[in-house]
Amino acid sequence: MTEGLHPNLQPMFDAVLERNRGETEFHQAVYEVMLSLTPIAGQRDAYAQWSILKRICEPERQIIFRVPWVDDQGRVEINRGYRVEFNSALGPYKGGLRFHPSVNLSIIKFLGFEQTFKNSLTGMPIGGGKGGSDFDPKGRSDLEIMRFCQSFMTELYRHIGEYTDVPAGDIGVGGRELGYLFGQYKRITNRWESGVLTGKGLTWGGSQVRTEATGYGTVFFARDMLAEVGESFEDRRVVVSGAGNVAIYAVEKVHQLGGRVIAVSDSSGYVVDEAGIDLELLKDVKEVRRERLSAYAAQRTSARLVTDGSIWDVPCDVALPCATQNELPESGAKALLANGVRLVAEGANMPCTPEAIAIFQGARVLYAPGKASNAGGVATSALEMQQNASRDSWGFEETEAKLEEIMGEIHRTCVDTAEQYGSPGDYVVGANLAGYIKVADAMVAQGVI
């Protein structure tokens, strides 16, 4: 994973490997950004020099803590909690919490690193951070989830705050978990500090469109990419991996824009539904009943469940990976390419491996990295912070219009930056360079801290 780096950057990347041994996901995220710094790596200005990169690759603060809780059988359980406060050059640390058994320091650091540049790209005043736990919510009762969230917040509360660090949701953390987390923060601090968390419920400080924002934003971004080459979603066959919050609202927006989503997936397999995914049924199975996709297939005659193989084998024009990191490897990219895929836009964080990205770019498939295309979620979190700060709440249409405008601006920034640095059409270079330069500028201005 080191090929292609500029000779000035290679020793810097080697130092990151050495300093963060075994953290493969973190290495991958740093590698992708360093690869994009090639156009400025030979310059004498401060941007790509070690004095900045060295600090950008080192989180400002990393917190790891014990989360003890009692399950429904009265057994004491232990999980590990994390909050990595990566970079506050542009604003308070901002980024979600992930509850998933795969969570470890490498995963949280890669997410926090990505978040820093994503948040920079949104144009909003937010730094980067990420947190979570190796807690597995699957099969846990509501009360177990509540007890876990309360214990998690009993440590986290001392590290966060409206002006310090503002967590939100991610995989395994949605409206229910944020409610329990906010309640415990309020109880411990005796403060109604609505701006301390985003993704809150609509009746207690949440923002319209926050739930839909990541999925909607990804599709707005993909639509703008298609428009750039004179195309649209009309009658396009679309495959969306995942069946969580991001995927569900990506499906909804694709359908609103005239495309047809024919496959979605979860950890049990994928469903192919040539009649087009039935959104109401999908929402009922996943959001209300919290069941597997087999329940979707059982209720829909046009659908079939596939439990072996890969969703990327389903022929499509547009692929939106909206599940998790590294879910689209080289083999998936080759299969998509063989079936004539036109566009790949990431709704998840780092779903495509470096090998898959190289295949898409080599074949001139339109490809958008998550830090650009999935930035709508965190951008709407920043809109929630704005509403909280002014004790206001906006309507759905007004908020969606703001999201659409922000995604349009991020798209324009990526296109213009890529062009300016000699890589027209390269959204990876555009997103990474634009995100990086803004953070680096602010760090230079603020001195060595």
- What is the set of active-site residues? 130
Beta bridge partners of 234: none
The residue from 41, 378, 383, 439 that contacts ligand GLU (CB under 6 A) is 378
166 or 365: whose CB is closer to ligand GLU?
166
The residue from 91, 96, 215, 435 that contacts ligand GLU (CB under 6 A) is 96
365 or 403: whose CB is closer to ligand GLU?
403
Phi, psi (deg, nearest 5) at residue 125? -80, 70
314 or 378: whose CB is closer to ligand GLU?
378
349 or 417: whose CB is closer to ligand GLU?
349
C-beta of 52: minimal distance to ligand GLU in Å? 23
Rounded Cα gap, residues 163 and 377, in angstroms: 20
Strand 269-273's sheet: what is its strand order? 303-306, 269-273, 260-266, 237-241, 318-321, 343-345, 366-368
Taking contact as CB under 6 A, which single stretch among the options 149-157, 352-360, 374-382, 417-425 is the one that binds ligand GLU? Answer: 374-382
60 or 231: whose CB is closer to ligand GLU?
60
Exposed e or buried b for every residue in 9-31, given b needs 16+ CB within 10 A?
beebbeebbeebeebebbbbbbb
* Residue owning tokens 């990541």: 214
197 or 336: whose CB is closer to ligand GLU?
197
Residue span 318-337 as binding mask against ligand GLU, x where in contact by CB under 6 A, dash where not: --------------------
Q: Say if CB 134 and CB 79 are below 8 A apart.
A: yes
C-beta of 127: minimal distance to ligand GLU in Å? 11
Rounded Cα gap, residues 28 and 355, in angstroms: 11
> What is the DSSP pairing of strand 93-99 with strand 76-87?
unpaired
Q: Report DSSP letters for 32-56, one per residue.
A: HHHHHTHHHHT-SSSTTSHHHHHHH
- CA 192-194-195 angle, 5° bins: 135
Residue span 27-66 as binding mask against ligand GLU, x where in contact by CB under 6 A, dash where not: ----------------------------------------
Rounded Cα gap, residues 168 and 207, in angstroms: 12
Tell which positions 158-187 bind ligand GLU, by CB under 6 A: 168, 170
Taking contact as CB under 6 A, which single stretch among the options 41-49, 56-64, 90-98, 437-445 is the one that binds ligand GLU? Answer: 90-98
Taking contact as CB under 6 A, which single stretch among the options 35-43, 155-163, 298-306, 376-384 is the one that binds ligand GLU? Answer: 376-384
Q: Say if CB 240 and CB 250 are below 8 A apart.
A: yes
90 or 359: whose CB is closer to ligand GLU?
90
The residue from 94, 237, 342, 438 that contacts ligand GLU (CB under 6 A) is 94
Q: Where are the alpha helices (DSSP H) in 63-191?
A: 105-122, 142-156, 175-189
Taking contact as CB under 6 A, which single stretch among the options 25-33, 64-72, 89-97, 227-235 is the one that binds ligand GLU? Answer: 89-97
Task: Assess 132 for contact with ligand GLU (CB under 6 A).
Answer: no
Tell which positions 192-231 bind ligand GLU, by CB under 6 A: 198
Task: Assess 95 for contact with ligand GLU (CB under 6 A).
Answer: yes
41 or 160: whose CB is closer to ligand GLU?
160
- Sequence length of the chain is 449
Q: Which tokens belong to 183? A: 């309640």
Phi, psi (deg, nearest 5) at residue 57? -85, -5
200 or 300: whose CB is closer to ligand GLU?
200
C-beta of 196: minimal distance to ligand GLU in Å? 12
Rounded Cα gap, residues 25 and 39, in angstroms: 24
**Of the candidates 163, 165, 169, 100, the residue with the CA atom closest to the CA atom of residue 129:** 165
C-beta of 94: minimal distance to ligand GLU in Å? 5
Number of chain positions touching ligand GLU (CB under 6 A): 10
Rounded Cα gap, residues 401 and 376, in angstroms: 12
Q: Which position's Cβ is nearest ligand GLU?
A: 96
C-beta of 95: minimal distance to ligand GLU in Å? 5
Q: Report DSSP letters for 159-192, one per residue.
A: G-BTTTEEEE-BTTB-HHHHHHHHHHHHHHHT--
Residue span 405-434 as binding mask against ligand GLU, x where in contact by CB under 6 A, dash where not: ------------------------------
Task: Assess 259 for contact with ligand GLU (CB under 6 A).
Answer: no
Task: Assess 349 for contact with ligand GLU (CB under 6 A).
Answer: yes
Taking contact as CB under 6 A, which single stretch among the options 57-65, 156-164, 285-293, 373-381 is the one that binds ligand GLU? Answer: 373-381
- Which residues, in sequence order, are CB contacts of 178 under 8 Å at separation 6+? 168, 169, 197, 199, 200, 201
Task: Assess 381 for contact with ligand GLU (CB under 6 A).
Answer: yes
Binding site for ligand GLU (CB under 6 A): 94-96, 168, 170, 198, 349, 377-378, 381
